[in-house]
Amino acid sequence: MNLKTSIHLSTVEEFQTIFGDQLQVGTALAKYTSSRVGGQAELFLTVQSSEELVTAVELAYKRNVPYFVLGGGSNIMVADQGVRGLIIMNRAKTVSYRHIGASVICTAESGMNLSSLTRQCIAKGLGGLEWGISVPGTVGGAVVGNSGAHGGDMASNVRAVTIWEPGRGTRIYRHDQLQYGYRNSVLKQEHGRNVARRVVLSAELELKPEKVAVLQARADGFIAHRKQTQPGGATVGSMFKNPENYYAGYLIEAAGLKGYRVGGAAISEKHANFFVNDDNATAEDVRSLIAEAWHAVREQFNVELELEVELVGEWKFEE
């Protein structure tokens, strides 16, 4: 193993002693993200349980190593230069269910895949999470970004979340403490700030018993709608948030940018808020598309779009 990183060798060895082969040095991140662009992680660690996740972030925090929890990589884009510090790929997936009155509480570890969880809930006749049927990524990513679709979102399901806080340890946040808004939460507000981030370990989701056939039909409808309206291939889903009273895709389309291409990336012909990597794009190709769309929409409609996706690593944008 090549041990050349900016992280102190003794710290790398500490991680190796605890995690063995679960730790890699200099791992290409593109294959762990839905956009399939970007460079390497200095250190890349796969964790299989909440306990391992806590061990990893506690050690990173104590040793001053920047850390970043990676779920499904479906709402981030990694810079071509890669990311300094420790990327923790979260594969903690335990799920349990308990009854409380007329509801069922599903407790899912944060690395559980959201659409797999949705399928599991449907099969058990538990309703409320059908909106998540084809939203890529993990429960943790959805809790942080308040992901949603088809009129539902994480905020409408979450009852409480178990969170590890840097320097303080594990505590439970009730729904109202998460400060949910449109694709926003108290956890998302940490992004872009130079702080050690809180980590979602598990979430309690409130569901209601309903007939499996009804739930399945609803989910099938959502899947069909998505197929009709969104492109396949390597994307991050919606690039920008919808500004108040507008759809970002409509504004980009009206600015004449459907099909606009830079290098291996293009603004989708099917949905202009989707940027598709269809020919070995670099992160720089996608950055150019983002800048072009942002400036064109501001110039023509006086609207400043806000990214929905998080840019990870070193990115440069000019005003």
Strand partners, 28: 40
Q: Which member of 183, 197, 198, 287 is catalytic? A: 183
Q: Tell me, what amino acid is at 20?
A: G
Q: What sign for the dihedral angle of Cα 71, 73, 76, 81?
A: positive
Query: Applying CB under 6 A, which residues contact ligand FAD?
Result: 34, 68-76, 90, 110, 135-138, 140-142, 144-145, 147-149, 191, 199-200, 235-237, 310
Decide if 156 contacts 275 (C-beta within 8 A): no
Closer to ligand FAD by Cβ: residue 70 or 215:
70
Examine the residue annotation and report whether 304 is marked as an active-site residue of this protein: no
Examine the residue annotation and report whether 261 is marked as an active-site residue of this protein: no
d(CA 67, CA 61): 8
Closer to ligand FAD by Cβ: residue 85 or 137:
137
Q: DSSP letters of 91-127?
A: ----EEEEEETTEEEEEEETTSBHHHHHHHHHHTTEE
d(CA 54, CA 61): 10
Residue 119: CB atoms within 10 A of its CB come to 17
Please name the residue ranges forming H helices in 110-230.
114-123, 139-145, 154-157, 212-229
Closer to ligand FAD by Cβ: residue 80 or 153:
153
Shortest gap between Cβ of 71 and ligand FAD (angstroms)?
Answer: 2
Shortest gap between Cβ of 203 and ligand FAD (angstroms)?
Answer: 9
Examine the residue annotation and report whether 185 is marked as an active-site residue of this protein: no
Q: Which member of 238, 253, 268, 287 is catalytic? A: 238
Q: Tell me, what amino acid is at 139?
A: V
What is the phi/psi pair of residue 128, to 5°? 130, -25
Shortest gap between Cβ of 232 and ligand FAD (angstroms)?
Answer: 8
Shortest gap between Cβ of 233 and ligand FAD (angstroms)?
Answer: 9
What is the phi/psi pair of residue 76, to 5°? -130, 160
Shortest gap between Cβ of 254 and ligand FAD (angstroms)?
Answer: 22
- In a 13 Å sphere around the CA of 207, the CA atoms on its Cβ side amount to 31
Closer to ligand FAD by Cβ: residue 13 or 22:
22
Closer to ligand FAD by Cβ: residue 11 or 110:
110
Instruction: Tell me which residues are annotated as active site.
Output: 183, 238, 308
